[in-house]
Amino acid sequence: MRKTLLALCFVLPAGMVAAQSPEDAVKARQGYFDLLGAQMAVLAPMAQGKMDFDAAKAKVAADNLAALAKVDVSPLFVPGTSTDDLGDATRALPAIWEKGDDFMAKATAMHEAAAGMPEAAGSLETLQVAVGQLGGSCKGCHDNFRAK
């Protein structure tokens, strides 16, 4: 998984620049969020007590989240890629472009929360707090900028 993320750190920014069509931008954007979700699928069950805490697995997922948080995804949110433009091909609401400053503030909050995950992965108690903060930052965007 680490090799995959390392490769994506080099390929994803190039792919963002090369995303010439709205459909390409949506695919790249969805891929990025799938990677975030895969890491949360490891951490959230541990934090919720649905899975035994495993410090090694938590550290890998937390490190991956922190690496992904360094990616500037703004090029993936190009005009013409909202639900109004592409229907069910995306869940990005037009509010992303209408309230760009609010969207970017929420994205920054998510990136800051994700950046702190590696330090929090050392114990269940710190992981629970950090996952709660990260989940809250994700929810802020999902509630306002993502179709259900």
CATH code assigned at 118: 1.20.120.10
User: 102 with 120: CB under 8 angstroms?
Assistant: no
Residues 72, 55: Cα–Cα separation, whole Å:
28
The total of structural domains in the chain comes to: 1
Condensed to tens digits (0 to 9), the pLDDT of residues 28-74 reads 999 999 999 999 999 999 999 999 999 999 999 999 999 999 999 99
Token couple for 117: 């995950």
Question: How far is it, in rounded angstroms, from Cα 146 to Cα 100?
Answer: 14
Tell me the residue range of the domain where 50 lies. 2-145
Query: Which region, left, alpha or beta, applies to residue 80 given φ > 0 means left and ψ of -120 to 50 means alpha?
Result: left
CA distance 41 to 47: 10
80-132 tens-digit pLDDT: 999 999 999 999 999 999 999 999 999 999 999 999 999 999 999 999 999 99
Identify the sign of the CA torsion 79, 27, 116, 45.
positive
In whole angstroms, give the CA distance from residue 118 to residue 63. Answer: 5
- Distance of alpha carbon 108 from alpha carbon 141, whole angstroms: 11
> What is the three-class DSSP state of 69?
helix
